[in-house]
A = this chain, B = another copy of it.
């Protein structure tokens, strides 16, 4: 039973469907294995594929999702509950996208798009706010450094005039 365990590289398959062990994913994403399992348990990550021996196998898409979660967590400071809610909206949108091929209820689709955009715009607002606050912090810190620069200069002068 060939499950494409994908050691070294197996470029035998045209599909090029990479998959990674939990250890690899932990190393690459900077999360711990425990955290990865926890995120799956909490519904942030969909149940991954499994090998014959019930080992988790992460896809590239999974890794993208994990990176996204990390950004929402570390850059925006959202709670996991918040993140899950957002991802659910994204997933809904993704499912809608799937349905695009067959359905024809254009009006309903537009509504869904609007709903999704609402969330996105709120996220954008938070991002703008954060950036603004950070830029302000940056300028004050830079000002402090420059002030120190001048003080240092003056201290040097004092020293030389003191010899």
Beta-carbon contacts under 8 Å, A144-162 to B: 144-145, 148, 151-152, 155-156, 158-159, 162
Minimal Cβ-Cβ distance residue in B for A106: B155
Q: How far is the CA of A152 from the CA of B77 in the complex (A)?
A: 31
A138 near B: Cβ within 8 Å?
Answer: yes
Interface residues of A in 123-160 (CB under 8 A from B): 123-124, 127-128, 130-131, 133-135, 137-138, 141-142, 144-145, 148, 151-152, 155-156, 158-159
Set of chain B residues within 8 Å of A133, measured between Cβ atoms: 71, 74-75
- Whether B106 lies near A148 (C-beta < 8 A) is no
Chain B minimum-CB-distance residue to A108: B155
In the complex, which residues of chain B have a beta carbon less than 8 angstroms from the beta carbon of A75? 130, 133-134, 137
Is the Cβ of B128 less than 8 Å from the Cβ of A131? no
A80 to chain B, nearest CB (A): 14
| A144 to B68 Cα, complex, angstroms | 14
Bound-state Cα–Cα, A120 to B133, Å? 16
Tell me which residues from 106 to 122 in chain A have a Cβ below 8 Å from any Cβ of chain B. 106-107, 109-110, 113, 116-117, 120-121
Q: Other than A76-B137, A120-B141, A120-B144, give 15 A-B pairs with Cβ distance below 8 A.
A: A74-B77, A75-B134, A110-B152, A110-B156, A113-B148, A113-B151, A113-B152, A117-B145, A120-B145, A124-B138, A124-B145, A127-B134, A127-B138, A130-B134, A131-B131
